[in-house]
Amino acid sequence: MTSADHTATHLTGVIPPVVTPLNEDRTLDVAGLEAVLTRMLDAGVHGVFALGSTGETAFHPMSVREQILRETVRVVDGRVPVLAGVVAPQTAETIERIDQAQELGADGVVATAPFYAITARPQIQRHFELLGEHASVPVYAYDIPVCVHTKLAPDMLVDLGTSGAIAGVKDSSGDDVTFRRLVAMNRAAGSPLSLLTGHEVVVDGAYLSGADGSVPGLANVDPEGYVRLDAACRGGRWDEARQEQDRLAALMDIAFGVKGQSGWGAGVGAFKAALQLLGVTASRQVPQPFDALDEQDVAAVEAVLGRAGLLPRDR
Amino acid sequence: MTSADHTATHLTGVIPPVVTPLNEDRTLDVAGLEAVLTRMLDAGVHGVFALGSTGETAFHPMSVREQILRETVRVVDGRVPVLAGVVAPQTAETIERIDQAQELGADGVVATAPFYAITARPQIQRHFELLGEHASVPVYAYDIPVCVHTKLAPDMLVDLGTSGAIAGVKDSSGDDVTFRRLVAMNRAAGSPLSLLTGHEVVVDGAYLSGADGSVPGLANVDPEGYVRLDAACRGGRWDEARQEQDRLAALMDIAFGVKGQSGWGAGVGAFKAALQLLGVTASRQVPQPFDALDEQDVAAVEAVLGRAGLLPRDR
Amino acid sequence: MTSADHTATHLTGVIPPVVTPLNEDRTLDVAGLEAVLTRMLDAGVHGVFALGSTGETAFHPMSVREQILRETVRVVDGRVPVLAGVVAPQTAETIERIDQAQELGADGVVATAPFYAITARPQIQRHFELLGEHASVPVYAYDIPVCVHTKLAPDMLVDLGTSGAIAGVKDSSGDDVTFRRLVAMNRAAGSPLSLLTGHEVVVDGAYLSGADGSVPGLANVDPEGYVRLDAACRGGRWDEARQEQDRLAALMDIAFGVKGQSGWGAGVGAFKAALQLLGVTASRQVPQPFDALDEQDVAAVEAVLGRAGLLPRDR
Amino acid sequence: MTSADHTATHLTGVIPPVVTPLNEDRTLDVAGLEAVLTRMLDAGVHGVFALGSTGETAFHPMSVREQILRETVRVVDGRVPVLAGVVAPQTAETIERIDQAQELGADGVVATAPFYAITARPQIQRHFELLGEHASVPVYAYDIPVCVHTKLAPDMLVDLGTSGAIAGVKDSSGDDVTFRRLVAMNRAAGSPLSLLTGHEVVVDGAYLSGADGSVPGLANVDPEGYVRLDAACRGGRWDEARQEQDRLAALMDIAFGVKGQSGWGAGVGAFKAALQLLGVTASRQVPQPFDALDEQDVAAVEAVLGRAGLLPRDR
């Protein structure tokens, strides 16, 4: 874990939030997970993020979460850092999950602000300080107000970075104005934080604002595209980046066009349907209380994949 | 548990959400919990609700939650039904907690809508159906949009009651208009649900609307007052009820006046400070990342208790 | 207007927000307005509120708003106080409307917090102070967060009452907990404010909390019911009040059951459909961009009216 | 106006929302407005937007709004198109303002979704259709959920563009993900809409996403910077664009650092303080119920301007 500790301290590049393939009976599809991860690693991703929102962190019993992380660490086998989501409503439970994640070999952990109980900024800051004091691997703050109903203030994040409590931020806040300010504040403080965007259709703009990397759910479907996009952005080839991004944004219609499911079930349901259509996994099953996409939605996903030239028969 | 199954199926009266007294080191203060519960039982409450939001459900490691419920069941000793909060972000984890709660002797469980991942009505309804199918004790739906950011639709609740999935509702939605509609719909369906209000300053109005009972956090401080209020409401002595309610609403200023803490920490912090001032518990400690009320806020709580004639020296 | 100034300073009882009947071509139906008002006055209402949200304050050109208020003042003819809505996004325009309303004979005006531009509490307080300084008739604060996206703080309202800036509050906040606190704070300050609830299905509970009166949109359909409800509440006959309220709450299903329209269009659309079915007005037309209820929704309204025994043939 | 009709149909480039300089007594400072506009025109802006949120559209009596637009048209004198905000809570009043704006010589109008009354998508779409049918100049949709509490759906906007109801969108939604989708949908429909971003610190990213122009409030302070940024983006010189944008984002700290005012008053208050410090206007006055920035906040604005090298003595 020593080397991992190093590699996870200032992450850059593409770190996809890995979906959790399930068998029809909703148990973990280990072979499917292996296939998804191998495809990402072959594409050249720079890290993987297990047990994120996309990875069904909230949906599985604790024993299954341990199994997911264990298998992920086994398959990745040290080739890239493995981040683990440690999402829980409050501090004590988050700390329990940090302990589990470390024991199972995670190179870094990703934690949200507290949720459920109403919690103000001083307590949110203290929460991250406690996590940082406790963890022996780097802690990333997960800014996802659509789930936790709190936006993390950029000055607080930079303070937490300066004090060493957190190593970076996964920004899924949908607030590009504040992200630009966060970049500027972080730079002024000596760049203690690695800043990663979670919005797969505006990665190019986030890089232009100063992002260090991306955590795109859609990279489950097209990891090569995101690796190319990352390279173009880092190389300053912005028009090439824009074209790749426009192509990937069109591919994201697999999620935006879903009609039979909504919210979480539409996005992750579409990623899973695409992986099944691409022959990567055997099933598109999702956890209770959601249902897998129905035939009509699968046909729509297939049409988008076809237009994008991603289906086997189109290649 | 057989008799418990019966008593928790149509709860009425005062069922306080019990605070979780802590020692200074944030371990469970078993003697304090015993004192709080004994005081409630002596006052004549009709049930107790452990591990609710007030009871720090979200804040403690799983092992401590088990300890809290075990001790609660032990102290109550079958005198009234014990409800247990089984609050978790999604279905699978909620079911794990139902199993634990049943094993530890809970007579009913209280579950919220899923939170964290965005979940629409069909999935929320399925969530409660799955809980109802799984549980062998009655399931109460906890309508608390301030925490889970979803309001439970009254027609869905009545459908879930009619199908037997849930036995009642704890309404902490702050929406008295919809509560009145829920009462009417429930009555039209043959009253499958027991309807309990969680708003301690308008219990009289909720009873006038047709509530079956209340789950008032403030009953940790003044259980006798809520038992009197319940009796007055059920006896149709509305002017008496109103006077008692006005007195209790004034007492609620212990929470509304807190300056050093906010949100969850202000409300539960004030209840705990009052219990310490009343000599019921030794400490007013709260879990991380919150702090106990500071001296200035404690003085304000003391002043309110004094005006209400509740302090030992005032009696 | 001298006497009116007096009568509007501490309003009590039933003060319905009057709908604005329209001809099919969306001009003001003066005869319809006269019929609606006469029916209310005959029922014994204690005031009327023109140009509220129900009265289409936001929907008509300024010239039509003047016509609505002029006709209302003419028909009421001093028998009860006439309140006029002076709803505008900011202070200067609100003051223009206060001048118009006073000129046209309003006995009091009803103003919201500023909306559109983001405005914090100090500016909201200053807004009401400026209105109070300017107006020669009493100003009522309209607490309607669902429209203006700000909740008026109870201590600010009582401060504004104590300083003489406002004479009362129309509470449409849907927050019965804070309303109870507002009543208590107002009482402690010597009751400078008249406190009126705008929620037609929980008027009994609001009176139990200490309301001085109600502003129920549904009183357009059944003014007699609300006059009876008011009398029962004021007489302390709470069980009678509750029965009347339950009957009126069931009648409110005319609005809750609408399928073809939503939001504002469902509520006011249903009131207008009911008035047409009752033979009070000739048309159920509503302003652009809304449409009148369609035949299917009208049939549903008719069924509710029938069950309530309000249709001519049922009498 | 014929030529103006043409130039406002597919706007591109920098179209600043012009502040409304006031004298200390809160009357319009005509000389100040002339100075602000002349500075913008000298810098090479491609249009101006009067009576936007920044331009105090909501704050002034109708007569003053007419004066503002009249003077703006007079000063601009046909050199660039003049857009006029026609912000009103509902359709009928918006149409009145369109008539006024056209009469006073506006080349295009900018209208929000209805606000105040709760209005769903079909009515919002109808609202814009009615505006488009009525107006003889191009109508721009103003997507500003922070003020009107509705987000305009991208497919609705493209439909309205295709039918000719609207000519473009001013996007102040803060939702860069949906903006990217709007660009793609607009392109697929043949680009009926001109798409303008209102977020001054991420204009480069918006251009990368496919924006046609920007409406930056900060261009009141530094119009030349935004003209340079626009040229760099349109020329594909993205690294140059990014540097200019980073500089302008740092300048935006004049607004983010304000302590004595909040919301609208902080942003526009800071722009006005900067213009006073730059010697463009004589006063930094703002309309009731807001106050101009206090000395401490002015000093903070001055420090930011100094760091940016914008103060006269720094040049």
DSSP tag of C22: B
Q: Chains A, D in contact: 3+ Cβ pairs under 8 A?
A: yes
- The strand order across the sheet containing B13-14 reads B13-14, B213-214, B194-197, B168-171, B139-143, B108-112, B82-85, B48-50
- Please state, in angstroms and rounded to a whole number, the distance separating the CA atoms of residues A143 and A149: 10
pLDDT tens, C63-78?
999 999 999 999 999 9
pLDDT at D192 over 60: yes
Task: Test C208 with B206 for CB contact under 8 angstroms.
Answer: no
pLDDT at A290 over 60: yes
Q: Chains C, B in contact: 3+ Cβ pairs under 8 A?
A: yes
Q: What stretch of H or E contains A75? A: helix A62-76
Retrieve residue C254's tokens.
């005319």
Retrieve residue C232's tokens.
């029962």
Segment among A222-236, C214-228, D7-21, D181-195 with least mean pLDDT: D7-21
Pairing verdict, β C213-214 and C194-197: parallel
pLDDT band of C262, cuts 50, 70, 90:
confident
| Average pLDDT, integer, range C88-108 | 97
pLDDT band of D2, cuts 50, 70, 90:
very low
pLDDT at B204 over 50: yes
Segment among C146-150, C214-218, C260-264, D155-159 with least mean pLDDT: C260-264
- The strand order across the sheet containing D213-214 reads D13-14, D213-214, D194-197, D168-171, D139-143, D108-112, D82-85, D48-50
Angle between helices D223-234 and D30-43 (to 10 degrees): 30
- Please state, in angstroms and rounded to a whole number, the distance separating the CA atoms of residues A285 and A33: 13
Q: How far is CA D78 from the centre of its chain?
A: 18
pLDDT tens, D193-236?
999 999 999 999 999 999 999 999 999 999 999 999 999 999 99
A87 chain-B contacts, CB cut-off 8 A:
89, 116
D83 phi, psi to nearest 5 deg = -90, 145
Q: What is the CA radius of gyration of chain C?
A: 18
Q: Chains A, C in contact: 3+ Cβ pairs under 8 A?
A: no
Q: Is the minimum CB–CB distance between C130 and chain D shorter than 8 Å?
A: yes
B205 chain-C contacts, CB cut-off 8 A:
176, 202, 204-206, 208-209
What average pLDDT does the structure give for chain C? 95
A59 chain-B contacts, CB cut-off 8 A:
90-92, 117
Q: Is the minimum CB–CB distance between D257 and chain A shorter than 8 Å?
A: no
Task: Test B91 with A287 for CB contact under 8 angstroms.
Answer: yes
Q: Which residue in chain A is spatially nearest to B147 when comparing CA positions?
A: A116
pLDDT at B168 over 70: yes
pLDDT at A35 over 90: yes
Task: Test C263 with D89 for CB contact under 8 angstroms.
Answer: no
- Please state, in angstroms and rounded to a whole number, the distance separating the CA atoms of residues D202 and D216: 10
| Average pLDDT, integer, range C133-143 | 98
- Please state, in angstroms and rounded to a whole number, the distance separating the CA atoms of residues A107 and A105: 6
Looking at CA atoms only, how far is residue B286 from chain A in angstroms? Answer: 12
Q: Is the minimum CB–CB distance between D234 and chain A shorter than 8 Å?
A: no
Model pLDDT, residue C3: 37
CA distances from A198 to A50, A144, B161 (A): 14, 9, 40
- Please state, in angstroms and rounded to a whole number, the distance separating the CA atoms of residues A228 and C284: 60
pLDDT at B7 over 90: no
What average pLDDT does the structure give for chain A? 95
Percent of chain D, pLDDT > 70?
97
In terms of DSSP H, where are the helices of D165-309?
176-188, 203-209, 223-234, 238-251, 253-256, 264-277, 295-307
B283 phi, psi to nearest 5 deg = -135, 155
| Average pLDDT, integer, range C119-131 | 96
pLDDT at D253 over 70: yes
B28 phi, psi to nearest 5 deg = -65, 130
- Please state, in angstroms and rounded to a whole number, the distance separating the CA atoms of residues B136 and B108: 9
Cα–Cα–Cα angle for A258, B92, B83, rounded to 5 degrees: 125
Closest to C286 (Cα-Cα) out of C306, C260, C298, C268: C268
Residue type, A21: P
pTM of this prediction? 0.95
Interface test with B, best of A116, A133, A262 (most B CBs within 10 A): A116
Task: Test C124 with D263 for CB contact under 8 angstroms.
Answer: no
- Please state, in angstroms and rounded to a whole number, the distance separating the CA atoms of residues B23 and B72: 17
pLDDT band of A9, cuts 50, 70, 90:
confident
CA distances from D260 to B137, D25, D263, D292 (A): 56, 21, 11, 9
User: What residue has token string 């419920």?
Assistant: B69
Q: Is the minimum CB–CB distance between A96 and chain D shorter than 8 Å?
A: no
User: What residue has token string 């914008």?
Assistant: D310
CA torsion, ordered D41, D44, D45, D47, to nearest 10 deg:
70
Looking at CA atoms only, how far is residue D262 from chain C in angstroms? Answer: 7
pLDDT at D7 over 70: no
CA distances from D167 to D88, D186, D192, D196 (A): 19, 11, 7, 11
Model pLDDT, residue B3: 37
pLDDT tens, D278-288?
999 999 999 99
D91 chain-C contacts, CB cut-off 8 A:
59, 287-289
pLDDT at A5 over 90: no
Q: Is the minimum CB–CB distance between C235 and chain B shorter than 8 Å?
A: no
Model pLDDT, residue A7: 59
Q: Which residue in chain B is spatially nearest to A127 when comparing CA positions?
A: B289
CB-based contacts of A2, cutoff 8 Å, min separation 6:
none
Question: In this prediction, does ipTM exceed 0.85?
Answer: yes
pLDDT at D81 over 90: yes
Q: How many residues does chain B have?
A: 315
Q: What stretch of H or E contains D12? A: none
Q: Is the minimum CB–CB distance between A238 and chain B shorter than 8 Å?
A: no
Model pLDDT, residue B1: 34
- Please state, in angstroms and rounded to a whole number, the distance separating the CA atoms of residues B52 and B101: 13
pLDDT band of A3, cuts 50, 70, 90:
very low
A27 phi, psi to nearest 5 deg = -85, 165
- Please state, in angstroms and rounded to a whole number, the distance separating the CA atoms of residues B91 and B94: 5
User: What residue has token string 């001032």?
Assistant: B277
pLDDT at A6 over 50: no
pLDDT band of A2, cuts 50, 70, 90:
very low
Task: Test D117 with C92 for CB contact under 8 angstroms.
Answer: no
Domains and CATH numbers, chain D: 13-235 (3.20.20.70), 252-309 (no CATH)
D116 chain-C contacts, CB cut-off 8 A:
53, 58, 87, 115, 147-148
End-to-end CA distance of chain A: 40
pLDDT at D3 over 50: no
B180 chain-C contacts, CB cut-off 8 A:
201-202, 249
Model pLDDT, residue A8: 77
Model pLDDT, residue A190: 98
Model pLDDT, residue C118: 85
Q: Which of C96, C126, C289 sits opposite D289 (nearest CB)?
A: C126
pLDDT tens, B267-282?
999 999 999 999 999 9
C203 chain-B contacts, CB cut-off 8 A:
none
pLDDT at D189 over 70: yes
| Average pLDDT, integer, range D22-26 | 98
Percent of chain C, pLDDT > 70?
97
Q: Which residue in chain D is spatially nearest to C129 when comparing CA positions?
A: D289
pLDDT band of A144, cuts 50, 70, 90:
very high
| Average pLDDT, integer, range A245-274 | 95
Residue A24: exposure state from Cβ atoms within 10 A (0-12, 13-18, ≥19)? exposed
A176 chain-D contacts, CB cut-off 8 A:
174, 176, 199, 202, 205
